[in-house]
Structure 1
Amino acid sequence: MRLSRYFLPLLKETPKEAEIVSHQLMLRAGMIKQQAAGSYSWLPLGFKVLNKIIRIIEEEQNRSGAVQLLMPTIQSADLWKESGRYDAYGKEMLRLEDRHEREMLFGPTNEEMITDIFRTYVKSYKDLPLNLYHIQWKFRDEVRPRFGTMRSREFLMKDAYSFDLDEAGATQAFYRMFVAYLRTFHRMGLVGVPMRADAGPIGGDLSYEFHVLAETGESAVFLDKRLVDKPIPAIDTDFRSDLTSIFKDWTSLFAATDEMTDEAGFKAAVEPEHQLAARGIEVGHIFFFGTKYSKPMKATVTSQEGQAVEVQMGSYGIGPTRLVPAIIEASHDDAGIIWPVSVAPFEAVVINLKVGDAESDRASERLYDNLTREGIDVLLDDRDQGAGGKFAAADLIGIPYQLIVGPRGLKDGVVEIKHRKSGERETLSIEEAVGRLKSLIVPQRRDSV
């Protein structure tokens, strides 16, 4: 992509309405534009990051055996009345009527709709286990939306729903998704810390949140610091590993928000040398709630013995539009965003320091073409403006590697690579630069763990 043809509305000043770093940088980097309270347009740079996050989520959901579908944003109130949640959900639910005065709602979640789909088509134990997921926009009418897309009214959600014949199978489904979440966040350069949590309006007995540690996190969290460096479990291709042992191993280490424990309980549970008090951002939540929805909605299958059995269910949520600011909160500096390669809008940027100089133009185009042929997601800054503005823009939008091309270096046949995260600089020949960038970028894509 050539920056001269791209839509990237950068801001020099920090907007006054932005309270936290991620909101400030997303606005300044031209990633989002607020349209109304808690509602944002995703501009090209932000949308590109969002789609890379979605791709990782989809790959790990598919790998775990979940099957993707797509459900509507607008739901019938009748389904929610059937489950008993229509009146219980509260003012966060946006209620509306269509032209025929039928009660509808903008879905804040999809347990009722997915249960209706299941009960329509699945009738036998032979069709279980089953996990269905989609990635769809949700709406929750927050009293005070804030922090940009961290806590907005309209947001994108990956929600998955498991169906099993018995509690033992449903528990294994829960553990399977637990491990899938560890892998998902790891591939984004994050440590997803699992914490036992209240089930809230979703319901259920087994509930875990996943938090990303960041100085500006909304929640105070207390944990055993060994969780931060704990290796991600190796999993068979078809998830035949001992999921129970993995779950118990991870949850044996203390981790809780301030809502679930107090500092005294934390100190009693964790040895002093392993204690870590920090701030966290919730980026995922998984639930096992048994027959909470299948019972009132009569979602049953015929067992091997010919009996009608209410299926055991769980639900599993990740917020892609929350993950974008969460990654920024965990990875930035005074100059701007520092994206991990796996979710960066571009993996490298070729910066032509002197547009119009024949040698600089020729070398920049050659490097851009060669990187593109090598499969690198590359941006070419071919704008006719000063070097300082180009460097500032590259730092602000957080591209992991900058390939700097200018007349001075080209006289000696060299270009420079700047590592955004460390600030390290390397001087290489034009021939070496492409291979060096490929060797830096490909291992960090985290296509597998």
Structure 2
Amino acid sequence: MRASRFFISTLKEAPSDAEIASHKLMMRAGMIKRVGSGIYTYMPMGLRVIRKVEAIVREEMNRSGAIELLMPVVQPAELWQETGRWDKMGPELMRVKDRHGRDFAIQPTSEEVITDVVRTDIKSYRQLPINFYHIQTKFRDERRPRFGLMRGREFTMKDAYSFDRDVAGMQQSYQIMYDAYVRIFSRFGLQFRAVAADVGAIGGTGSHEFHVIADTGEDAIVYCPSSDFAANVEAAEALSLTPARAAASEPLTKTATPGKAKCEDVAQYLKLPLAQTVKSIVLTVEKEKGNETWLLLLRGDHDMNEIKVNKIAGLAGGYRFATEAEIVETFGTPPGYLGPIGTKQPVTVVADRTVANMHDFVCGANELDFHLTGVNWGRDLPEPLVADLRNVVEGDPSPDGKGVLAIQRGIEVGHVFQLGTRYSEDMQATFLDEHGKPQPLQMGCYGIGITRILGAAIEQNFDDKGIIWPASLAPFEVVLCPMGYDRSETVKAETDKLYAALQTAGVDVIVDDRGERPGVMFAEWELIGVPHRIVIGERGLKEGNLEYQGRRDAAATPVALDAMVEFVSAKLAA
């Protein structure tokens, strides 16, 4: 490729609405152009990166035995209504009508369509297992699109769907896809981590997320440095920080805490550790015969995990945070002074595992400006229901018992699910087993955010000059920067010769033949992030040398003219 025949549209400054590094740099490097909120045109430079991502994904999916097809962007509402997701998806699902008034969805994913395909064409156990995938445009009507391609409304995703005859087969297909994902992200050249995750709205029985590690990541990833344990913070099990409950050693005392409504303030006022306080969270479950009030108790320095709470029997899928009026009616006091002792109305008390093992703790007295100290289970109040209610924190014991937990930030770019029969039962997708009896298909689904990879890769790889692409994803692997291409016949001839030799060697190379000044040329390619640069100048040619500089290198390295192709090929192979 010659720069004079390519479209390069870099900017000196990022648009004012660009918030994070990847968004700013992609705009400045001319990789994307904003069309509307969360909607972008992929410019030639950015599209080259997308195509490289797609090629790696496609090669590894084919290698795993998955079969490519292409499902439509616009899908009939009837399929979504069969699974109930037409209503459950909420406003993120873009709904449209055709000229006849029929409802359609602009697909955010394709479980319904692929299940419809398979229930029509797969009839026998002899046709299983099978795995279909496609790379297709998706649309999710995000409430607040932001961060460029990281959280846009229109994006490209690879989604795959496996179908098996039984759970063991589904788990085997899941492992094949998990292994394929490890190969894919390794080939991207990105630092990543696979973590156990909650299944979320997709449903199913188990899942893993693949995260690109980046300080700017939206997700907290929990892992154990001394073992293989890793999980999203939403799914990480929090063990009790107190192995066993000690005996009571203090009397129950009602203590004045004027104006101290937060655990931090109460602990400071009473000159006690924050870890000796207990916070109260009030939830309401609406019932036809009257609302139920639930009181969740967590240690004062811990945070509630809504995903975990949503799995508690009696709360699953049907709770909301209580209003202040409901709290006053139930406890007799506004928030800030609540506790499990002496409520005006019955409440269901659930204690986090750590709280259940605490003794002589502090909680609200259900009276304005008062707390109770020296509170003990069994003596002062009944034993509670016990559940894992909290987010883990750094230094917690690892659930596998092999060390303590650490936390790092990550950007979710892939997700694999064991769906089971979540969709096949709703859509009556069955096959005939060896005995001629119909059985529901066991499904798995597997997604990779193709365009999101670009943003995640940049968030992990950039500096004050611009993007630093891994060679496997870069729009070009090598850029040739001739000094005076339009003025020196010697430079032009040697540049063209090297350009042809690199192409013959299979290197994805671009030559900047625009005649730009060196400083401008270097700055532009550093912004774009091409990982390898070769400078051809008359002075070096007289000595038989060219200058090589990697994007992360502090200085250039002289390389013999006749050795450059082999030198660069070795760099790329490494």
- Maintained 8 Å contact 2:9/2:29: yes
Kindly state the Cα deviation for residue 281 of structure 1 after the two structures are TM-superposed: 0.2
Residues 395-414 of structure 1: CA distance to partner in whole angstroms, max 9, x if unpaired? 11111110101122122121
Matches within 5 A, 1:168-207: 168-207=168-207
1:321 corresponds to: 451
Point out 4+ residue stretches in structure 1 off by more than 4 angstroms.
Answer: 270-275
* 2:398 and 2:404 in contact (8 A); partners too: no
Question: How far does residue 285 in structure 1 lie from its aligned partner after superposition?
Answer: 0.7
TM-score computed with the length of structure 1 as normaliser: 0.90
The offset of 1:272, in angstroms, is: 9.9
Q: Which residue of 2 aligns with 1:208?
A: 208
- CA distance in 2 between counterparts of 1:97 and 1:328 reads 38
- Indicate which of 269, 277, 282 corresponds to 2:398: 269
Counterpart amino acid of residue 433 in structure 1? M
**Residues in 2 aligned to 1:27 and 1:158: alpha-carbon distance in whole angstroms:** 24
Report % sequence identity. Answer: 47
Alignment match of 2:514 (pick from 355, 369, 383) = 383
Map 1:194-273 onto structure 2 (within 5 A): 194-225=194-225, 253-261=228-236, 262-264=391-393, 267-269=396-398
What is the total number of aligned residue pairs between the two structures? 418
More displaced stretch, 209-218 vs 419-428: 419-428
Contact kept, 8 Å, 1:346 with 1:379, in 2: the verdict is yes
Q: Secondary structure at the match of 1:91?
A: helix
Deviation digits for residues 363-407 of structure 1 (CA, Å, limit 9, x no counterpart)? 111111111111110000111221001111111111111010112
Correspondence for 2:488 among 344, 354, 357: 357
The residue type paired with residue 224 of structure 1 is: C
Give the match for residue 32 of structure 2. Answer: 32
Residues of 2 paired with 1:124 and 1:192: CA distance?
Answer: 39
Q: Are 1:114 and 2:244 an aligned pair?
A: no
| SS across alignment from 1:16 | coil
Q: Residue 420 of structure 1 corresponds to which residue in structure 2?
A: 551
Instruction: Quote how far apart the aligned CAs of 1:274 are.
Output: 7.0
Distance 1:225 1:425, change over 3 A: farther
Q: What is the letter of the counterpart of residue 269 of structure 1?
A: S
Greater mean deviation of Cα atoms: 156-165 or 195-204: 195-204
Alpha-carbon distance in 1 for matches of 2:203, 2:488: 65
1:95 aligns to 2:95 (yes or no): yes
How far residue 273 of structure 1 moved from its aligned partner, in angstroms, is: 7.9
**Contact 2:225–2:406 (8 Å) recurs in 1:** yes
TM-superposition CA deviations, 1:139-160 (whole Å, max 9, x none)? 0000001000011000101000
C-alpha separation between the residues in 1 aligned to 2:394 and 2:443?
A: 32
Q: Is the 8 A contact 1:349 1:378 kept in 2?
A: yes
Q: Which protein shows a greater Rg?
A: 2
Bigger shift: residues 358-367 or 419-428:
419-428
Query: Which structure: greater helix fraction?
Result: 1
1:348–1:379 Cα contact (<8 Å) kept: yes
Measure, in 2, the Cα distance between the counterparts of 1:202 and 1:439: 44
Deviation track 1:248-307 (CA, whole Å, cap 9, x = no partner) reads xxxx62223333343447621188987532211000111112111111211111100110
Return the alpha-carbon distance in structure 2 between the equivalents of residues 423 and 145 of structure 1.
37
Distance 1:119 1:157 in 2: 24
The residue identity in structure 2 corresponding to 1:368 is: Y
Q: Is the 8 A contact 1:223 1:266 kept in 2?
A: no
Give how far 1:22 is off: 0.6
Question: C-alpha distance in 1, partners of 2:463/2:223?
Answer: 25
| Post-superposition offset of 1:56 | 0.5
Task: Determine the C-alpha separation between the residues in 2 that align with 1:5 and 1:397.
Answer: 17
Please tell me the residue identity of whatever aligns with 1:341: A
Look up the SS of the partner of 2:90 in the other structure: coil
Please give the secondary structure, in 2, of the residue aligned with 1:185: helix
8 Å Cα contact 1:2/1:380 also seen in 2: yes
Match of 1:161 in 2: 161
1:312 to 442, 448, 459: 442
Q: Deviations over 1:28-52 (max 9, x none)?
A: 1110001000000100110000000
Q: Which residue of 2 aligns with 1:127?
A: 127
- Unmatched runs of 5 consecutive residues or more in structure 2: 237-390
* Deviates further, 52-61 or 270-279: 270-279
Deviates more, 1:83-92 or 1:267-276: 267-276
Who is 1:429 aligned against? 560
After alignment, is 58-67 or 261-270 more displaced?
261-270
Q: Compared with structure 1, are the counterparts of its residues 206 and 272 closer, same or farther at alpha carbon in structure 2 (3 Å cutoff)?
A: closer
Deviation (angstroms), 1:424: 4.7
Residues 347 and 274 of structure 1: is their aligned pair in 2 closer, same or farther, counting only changes over 3 Å?
farther
Match of 1:288, SS state, is: strand
Secondary structure (helix, strand or coil) at the match of 2:11 reads: coil
Q: Deviations over 1:162-207 (max 9, x none)?
A: 1000011001111111111111101001233122222122111111
Q: Please list, as runs of the form range in 1=range in 2, the aligned pairs for 1:384-399 lying within 5 A after superposition.
A: 384-399=515-530
Q: Is the 8 A contact 1:32 1:43 kept in 2?
A: yes
Question: Is the 2:2–2:510 Cα contact (8 Å) retained in structure 1?
Answer: yes
- Checking the alignment, whether the CA contact within 8 Å between 2:531 and 2:551 is kept in structure 1 is yes
Instruction: Look up the SS of the partner of 1:366 in the other structure.
Output: helix
Question: TM-score of the superposition, structure 2-length normalised?
Answer: 0.71
Q: Would you say the 8 A contact 2:415–2:447 is kept in 1?
A: yes
Counterpart Cα distance in 1 of 2:475 and 2:224: 33
Q: Are the aligned partners of 1:162 and 1:173 in contact in 2 as well (CA < 8 Å)?
A: yes
Distance 1:256 1:101, change over 3 A: same
- Taking only aligned residues, the RMSD between alpha carbons, in angstroms, comes to 1.6
SS in 1 for 2:444: strand
| Distance of 1:358 and 1:273 partners within structure 2 | 65
Q: Is the 8 A contact 1:83 1:293 kept in 2?
A: yes
- Counterpart code for 1:288: Q
Secondary structure, aligned partner of 1:341: coil
Contact 1:131 1:162 in 2 (8 A): yes
Amino acid across the alignment from 1:292? R
Instruction: From the superposition, tell whether residues 106 and 49 of structure 1 become closer, same or farther in structure 2 (CA, over 3 Å).
Output: same
| Aligned position for 1:285 | 415
Q: Matches of 1:182 and 1:266 in 2, distance apart? A: 27
CA distance in 2 between counterparts of 1:357 and 1:391 reads: 19
The one-letter amino acid of 1:378's match is: V
Amino acid at match of 2:131: N
